Copies of this chain bind each other. A is one copy, B any other.
Amino acid sequence: MSLVVVGSMAFDAIETPFGKSDKIIGGAGTYIAWCASNFTPIKQISVVGGDFPQSELDALAARNVDLEGVQIKKDEKTFFWSGRYHMDMNSRDTLVTELNVLENFQPVVPDNFQDCEFLMLGNLVPAVQLSVIEQLKTKPKLIVLDTMNFWMEVAMDDLKKVIAKVDVLMVNDGEARQLSGDYSLVRAAKTIMAMGPKYLIIKKGEHGALLFHENNVFFAPALPLEEVFDPTGAGDTFAGGFIGHIAKTKDISFENMKTAIIIGSAMASYCVEKFGTERLRELSQADIDSRLSQFVELVNFDINLV
């Protein structure tokens, strides 16, 4: 039984008010893999061009990321994204998007991936996400979907089909409002859960994240950080920490999802400390535990009710 991750593997070029990166390794699938592989082995589905460094693939393989599902199109170029963050580090402008290999990506689920128990659909074309779900002969124990406003604008019909088939949906607050047409996040959550997902996670960046399920709600804080160096991949890393913990513990209860969200938040708080995946690559188990302790401290309080 395994965790299957679907997501882009890409080149990014990032500008922030504090610096500018070269063309570096990025992509939702990459961030998820770097993060979740701290917790469990992964079977990865993605596509790259001939220009994608073999050393990057080797580094993931060395972390128990099975790359059989990663297509390498030798004569094509890897997906490239370039963006510039504003002063608040919450909003950004896209400078360049070159779809390249993503343009005609037809994912193929290897036979060896049919034991998929947990499926993490990283942010990607909804039709690709749907194709992976449909290729799986047995329904996974849990399907988690991450998506973004872009797909709501250009592929809402496909996106709604995917949403109807997943157990957990992750979006940010603006996207939850856009998808539901409701400003109140509590009402938006009800509307979105009626579209299919039994669980909804609303990511609020520096303001933490909310987990909704039936009439229950859980609030996970974000760690207040002195510096956010580069927010790219924070949401993907959050998803990776979440599904990594779920797959490791094989426990899909609401209680365990709370823990998984805290772990996702802790991993995301590391991600933003350096450009790209740099910080994620150097983390030890001791680093992860130390940050989790900070989260426990951050929200721990005593109430003695009469």
Contact = CB atoms under 8 A, between A and B. Distances in A.
Contacts of A184: 225-227
Interface in A254-306: 255, 258-259, 261-263, 285, 289, 292-293, 295-303, 305-306
Closest 8 CB pairs between A and B? A207-B207, A219-B221, A258-B301, A186-B226, A299-B299, A219-B298, A186-B224, A289-B305
Contacts of A305: 289, 292-293
Contact of A306 (B219, B261, B285, B306): B285
B207 A224 contact: no
Interface residues of A, number: 42
Interface of A: 87-88, 183-187, 204, 207-208, 210, 216-221, 224-227, 255, 258-259, 261-263, 285, 289, 292-293, 295-303, 305-306
A218 B263 CA distance: 18
Contacts of A262: 301, 303
Given A218-B298, A227-B184, A259 B303 contact: yes
Contacts of A297: 216, 218
B296 A303 contact: yes
Contact of A298 (B207, B217, B226, B255): B217
Q: Chain A: interface secondary structure?
A: mixed
Nearest to A218: B298
Given A255-B302, A299-B299, A221 B221 contact: yes
A218 B285 contact: no
Given A292-B303, A295-B303, 17 more contacts: A88-B183, A184-B225, A186-B224, A187-B226, A216-B297, A217-B224, A218-B300, A219-B221, A219-B298, A221-B299, A259-B301, A259-B302, A263-B303, A285-B306, A289-B306, A292-B305, A293-B305
A296 B302 CA distance: 9
5 contacts: A88-B183, A185-B224, A218-B300, A259-B301, A263-B303
Which residue of A87, A186, A207, A285 has the most chain B CB atoms within 10 A of its CB atom? A207
Contacts of A292: 303, 305
A258 to B, nearest CB: 4
Nearest to A286: B306
A305 B266 CA distance: 13
A303 B295 CA distance: 9
